[in-house]
Amino acid sequence: MSENMIDVKNLNTYFNSTQILKNININIKPNTVTALIGPSGCGKSTFLRTLNKMNNLTHTFKMTGEITIDNEPFENIDDVALRKKVGMVFQKANPFPKSIYENIAYGLRIHGMKDEDKINDIVIKTLKDVALYDEIKDDIHRSAYKLSGGQQQRLCIARSIAVSPKIILMDEPCSALDPISTLKIEDLIYELKKDYTIIIVTHNMQQATRVSDNTAFFLNGEIIEIGDTNEIFLHPKKQETENYITGKFG
């Protein structure tokens, strides 16, 4: 048994014959936040999308290597079980065209929950967990589209945690948000790591230092350096890492 939530060994990924990720090795402990940084196009999103098998929806995608999630080999986990275990939050909030309430209840019903009282309890609890409840409690049945961008993003996080995942993947979750909404999401990430393991892609170096325990620096599909976030930012071992975090490229 590994103590890690995620173990990735010798991962290579391809779209057609173009190799995107090259020999990725990473181990992620439970209840930690890992930031993925690196210039545009270096493979950060591809890595996230490999972990929840979203890339498998692209028929040209191929991978080699081993991934273990919560001690289960990747190939043994079917897509439905995996998506329940591994939630994802995208760059642009993408609520369903439904009410705030239904945005969360819907996923629970899809995963087979029928008891409406229980569904109600989880909807309220997750809205509280993402600190949205007090802002919307008087009108929980209004359209999710009426929420601000920051509120929509918190709703999407609530939707992903409602089905009790182990892991939450966040692909630049604050890039479309103002600084105040961004800080709210960052505070939330800090709270969420008590219960979940989080991987966040960010182009914002301050954000990586604020929210993450560990950081992986990607360049051209490889992990150039990985380790404790403070170490990576204060004492990078590789010249490329230093160049990137000091803004010399990317």
Residues 6+ apart with CB under 8 A from 95: 103, 144, 145, 147, 152, 155, 156, 159
Q: Which string of x and - marks every residue 79-108 that binds ligand ATP (by CB under 6 A)?
A: ------------------------------
3-state secondary structure of 4: coil
Residues 6+ apart with CB under 8 A from 169: 48, 51, 52, 86, 87, 88, 89, 198, 199
Q: Which burial class, exposed, middle or buried, applies to 176 when counting CB atoms under 10 A from its CB (0-12, 13-18, 19+)?
A: middle
Beta carbon of residue 243, minimum distance to ligand ATP (angstroms, whole number): 16
d(CA 99, CA 228): 41
User: Which 163-222 positions form the footprint of ligand ATP (CB under 6 A)?
Assistant: none
3-state secondary structure of 94: coil
Closest to ligand ATP by CB, 49 vs 83, is: 49
User: Which 50-69 positions form the footprint of ligand ATP (CB under 6 A)?
Assistant: 58
Options 4, 34, 45, 153; binder of ligand ATP; rule CB under 6 A: 45
CA 91 to chain CA centroid, Å, is: 10
Options 41, 80, 145, 146; binder of ligand ATP; rule CB under 6 A: 41
The answer to whether 13 contacts ligand ATP (rule: CB under 6 A) is no
Write out the two tokens for 21.
Answer: 């990720």
Residue pair 173/154 in contact (Cβ under 8 Å)? The answer is no
Closest to ligand ATP by CB, 44 vs 184, is: 44
Beta carbon of residue 33, minimum distance to ligand ATP (angstroms, whole number): 18
The answer to whether 40 contacts ligand ATP (rule: CB under 6 A) is yes
The answer to whether 15 contacts ligand ATP (rule: CB under 6 A) is yes
Instruction: Choose the stretch contacting ligand ATP; rule: CB under 6 A; options: 33-41, 189-197, 225-233, 240-248.
Output: 33-41
Closest to ligand ATP by CB, 1 vs 57, is: 57
Beta carbon of residue 237, minimum distance to ligand ATP (angstroms, whole number): 21
The answer to whether 42 contacts ligand ATP (rule: CB under 6 A) is yes
Exposed e or buried b for every residue in 84-120, given b needs 16+ CB within 10 A?
Answer: bbbbbbbeebebbeebbbbbbbbbbeeeeeeeeeebe
Closest to ligand ATP by CB, 44 vs 154, is: 44
| Residues across the chain | 250
The answer to whether 43 contacts ligand ATP (rule: CB under 6 A) is yes
- Vertex 83, ends 77 and 88: CA angle to 5°? 140
Closest to ligand ATP by CB, 15 vs 96, is: 15
The answer to whether 151 contacts ligand ATP (rule: CB under 6 A) is no
Residue 26 belongs to what H/E stretch? strand 18-28
The residues binding ligand ATP (CB under 6 A) are 15, 20, 38, 40-46, 58
